[in-house]
Every structure is written in structure tokens, then in C-alpha cells.
Amino acid sequence: MACTLALVWSTHAWATIYQDIVWHQLVPSGWNPTQSLRGLRSFTRLPDSDPRAQAMMDKLRSAWDEAPTVSSFDGHDVRIMGYVVPLESGPSGIREFLLVPYFGACIHTPPPPANQIIFVRLESPAKDIRTMSTVRVSGTLVVDRATWNLGVSGYHLKAASVEKYPPR
């Protein structure tokens, strides 16, 4: 009996328990992603080619690339759902990708703020995921800003597992 109990305890101690998180938890309380555009009512009426519109977008992009992160998640084991934007893929599958909160982010629309982009590196390539696949990723979250050609990530998830979501 004592051996069985010791085995159960040791197995339980080795099992990682992931905290389920959602995207808004990665944004510090009180941070407003559109703060830098306050008072610019004419922005939506300007054509994209207008230098004033481009200057405003550059200002917004700069603010979003420097978006603050939530340091209390640093080093925590988490699980989060999102959409895949591949960075490194090949015949064996996707090994690195950006995880984003909504479909089309970084591809069809400007990238979200850095605190809404997570860089994910898998230990081994995943064959069953593609661009914009909906996945749930589990691993250790690290506050780590990095610049990619598709956007700036504010977090790095050292992934232990990735699965299509919802599970089949």
C-alpha cells in the first residue's frame, strides 16, 4: 500500500498542470491599444495612401510593437487557444509559428499588439497543422520580445504540446 501511494504521489508530482489562459489576460490592466490615436477622428476618412494616414499607422504600429506584457506569467505553465501563423515549416511539418488571437492576424490584417502575439517553438514538427489552424498549445510561457517579418511577439511559449482545437 505504501509503495502504491508513493508511486501515485511521484507520478502526480511529475505531471505538469497547465493553467488555462485567454488572450485578454496577456494585456496589462489599463493598457489601451488605441491610446496613441486619441483625438484623431479624421483618421478613418483618410485614404490609405495619404501621408497623414501612413504617419498615424506608423505611430500606432510603434505603440503596438512596444505593447507591455504581463510579467506575472513569466515561467508559468499555461495552455492557450489561438491561430497558427507559420514561421518555419517543411515536409515534416511546422516547427515554429506565431500564435495569434484571431483568424487572419498577421496575414490579412496588420499584426496585433506584441502582447497578443506568442512565438511558439515545438520540439518536433507538427504535421497536422497549417496556416490559420485553430490549435491549443501547452507549455512554459516566457516574457520575451522578438521581431519577426510578420510582427513583434511579446511572449515565447516553449511548447510541450500542440493539438487541433476543438479536439476531434
Q: pLDDT tier at 12 (50, 70, 90 boundaries)?
A: very low
Q: Nearest to residue 95, comparing CAs of 146, 151, 144, 158?
A: 158
Give the closest residue to 27 by CA, choosing from 118, 97, 104, 148: 118
CATH of the domain at 100: 2.40.50.870
Residues 6 or more apart in contact with residue 102 via CB below 8 angstroms: 83, 112
Note the pTM of the prediction, 2 decimals.
0.85
Nearest alpha carbon to residue 29 among 63, 57, 68: 68
Is 3 among the domain residues? no
For residues 102-130, give the mean pLDDT: 91
Q: Which amino acid is present at 131?
A: T
- Structural domain of 105: 16-28+46-164
What pLDDT score was predicted for residue 54?
Answer: 85
The distance in angstroms from the start CA to the end CA of the chain is 38
Q: What is the pLDDT of residue 67?
A: 96
pLDDT at 50: 87
Residue at 90 is within a domain: yes
Q: How many folded domains does the chain comprise? A: 1
Specify if 61 maps to a domain.
yes
CA distance 14 to 157: 20
The rounded distance, in Å, linking the Cα atoms of 60 and 37 is 7
Whether 77 maps to a domain, the answer reads yes
Residue 121: what pLDDT?
94
Please provide the average confidence, as pLDDT, over all residues in the chain. Answer: 87
Residue 156 binned pLDDT confidence (cut-offs 50, 70, 90): very high
Calpha distance 25→102 (Å, rounded):
15
Instruction: Return the beta strands (E) in the chain as ranges.
Output: 19-20, 76-90, 93-100, 118-126, 134-148, 151-164
Residue 156 lies inside a defined structural domain of this protein: yes
- Residue 2 located in a structural domain: no
The pLDDT of residue 152 is 97
CA-nearest of 133, 98, 104 to 118 is 98
